[in-house]
Amino acid sequence: MEHVTDRTLAAARKVIAVHINYPSRAAQRGRTPEQPSYFLKPSSSLATGSATAPSSVERPAGCELLGYEGEIALIIGKPARRVGIDDAWSHVEWVTASNDLGVYDLRYADKGSNLRSKGGDGFTPVGPGLIAADTVDPARLRIRTWHNQELVQDDTTEDLLFPFARLIADLSQLLTLEEGDIILTGTPAGASVAAPGDVVEVEVSTTPDAAGGAPLTTGRLVTTVTEGTTAFADFGAGPKTDDLQREEAYGSREAAGLPADSTAAVGPALSPALKAKLESVCTATLSSQLRKRGLNNVSIDGLSSTRPDKRIVGLARTLRYVPNREDLFKTHGGGFNAQKKAIDSVNEGEILVMEARGEKGTGTIGDILALRAQVRGAAAVITDGGVRDFAAVAAMDMPTYYANPHPAVLGRRHIPWDTDITIACGGTTVQPGDIIVADSDGILVIPPALAEELADDSIAQEREETFIAEMVQQGHSVDGLYPLNAAWRTKYEEWEAAKSHG
């Protein structure tokens, strides 16, 4: 096997890194990019290291957060300029391991360039072994990282947001990728912070083939962390950090030792108290209150529910499908497409609403993705299209609202196009952050600004209707009773006062 040498490092005229490319990292960060984005690292940041000759990286004096990120590095073998996706992989000569190191303490000063935070000497170790690119399937690679011998990252390239060939083709639209250039292809979830004395190891290997052959491997890229002793001069930006940077560096508030964010669970538009109010009233009542406010087209119509016994309340997340066009399906239909992004980023208590144009001739969700939404804590999935694997979806605890069962796959009629935008579903408009309330009567879309007032008035209306129902049951005519005239309102107020004191 070939190994990274000083000559390999000297041949790299540029080092290009991708910001977010693994679904697990996107979910951790809470954002999923529509297109890849990049930053440059200086070639002087390159180093190599192995078990017998580890590289050494200095955490600069005064810095707290030296982050590590295990990544797969691609080394260009022949120049690439305006190459297509189908041809792009042929321009890669080697695959190896890398560690995209950086100090979060200096991110504030970079204005997004990452030069100070990720450009330091030794901040891009690569190696030790090289795997010939023409011997591997780029969608069957595995990346693992160990921090002080504990496995902290373990992911594969099967479902990347942006497959490697797409990165190369995209970059080559504007710049020439030259022989020796290195592309860092993103890190999965699990990246964290290393302290002086820590050891970080990264390994890239092929995933086992169907025949059970031994995987190819780069061996472990080993980097030890030391403490810098030279303070920053006062004529440049010095280290500075806060809890947001600590959360980003460690991957979560919990991992950073920070208290939980009490505002994150439900969201500003749906407090626990408001959610409880909306759960206590029927959609029929809410609908009449919406109508009083001039809102008549706020119901998602024509759908059935797998769990009509359940009443759900949650904030809307949205997904839009467009009609299938074969050339566009090639670029938007495969891999970690908008459908999978939406499913994989839905949060606890949210409701994923899909615009499928009322197209009933194919499925828009099946058992695996519905299960993923349920595991993520989604309150429901709503689609005005078909559902595949219907028996399995219907057996889940999470309700799914649908137009009809259908066995066909998504690509027969749809391309998953974009997420978290204003959509149309079941004849009405839904925006991200709208409040969805659904029960056996139907599905309503409630503007957040009206929700508190609407809930209070609906509770009051249902109390009146309870009184009216009691009076009807006692044999009274509905004339003057429903709705209440002045005489009956007086009697209602007396009834209400007796109830409150009783």
Q: What is the pLDDT of residue 267?
A: 46
Note the pLDDT tens digit of each residue in 278-325: 999 999 999 999 999 999 999 999 999 999 999 999 999 999 999 999
Query: How does pLDDT run across 140-154, given as a tens digit for each residue?
Result: 999 999 999 999 999
Q: Which amino acid is at 259?
A: P
Collapsed DSSP state (helix, strand, coil) of residue 473? helix
Q: Give which of 41, 18, 334, 20 is closest to 167, Cα–Cα.
A: 18
Residue 262: pLDDT above 70?
A: no
CA distance linking residue 321 with residue 236, whole number of Å: 49
501 or 350: which leads in pLDDT: 350
Q: What is the CA radius of gyration of the chain?
A: 28
- Residue 260 has a pLDDT of 62
Predicted model pTM: 0.57
| E runs forming strands in 66-198 | 66-68, 70-76, 92-99, 102-103, 124-126, 129-132, 141-147, 150-156, 182-184, 192-194
What are the structure tokens assigned to 423, written together?
A: 């959509």
Report yes or no: 484 and 460 within 8 Å, Cβ to Cβ.
Answer: no
The pLDDT value given to residue 209: 64
What own/partner pairs with CB < 8 Å and gap ≥ 24 does 272-275 have?
274/451, 274/452, 274/455, 275/313, 275/349
pLDDT in tens, 420-472: 999 999 999 999 999 999 999 999 999 998 999 999 999 989 888 888 898 99
Q: What's the confidence (pLDDT) of residue 299?
A: 96
Q: How far apart are CA 369 and CA 352, in angstroms?
A: 12
Ordered by where they begin, the domains of the chain are 2-250 (3.90.850.10), 297-446 (3.50.30.40), 452-501 (no CATH)
Write out pLDDT tens, residues 3-19.
Answer: 988 899 999 999 999 99
> DSSP alpha helices (H): ranges in 254-353?
272-279, 283-292, 326-332, 338-345
**CA–CA separation, 159 and 340 (whole Å):** 10
- pLDDT value, residue 332: 86
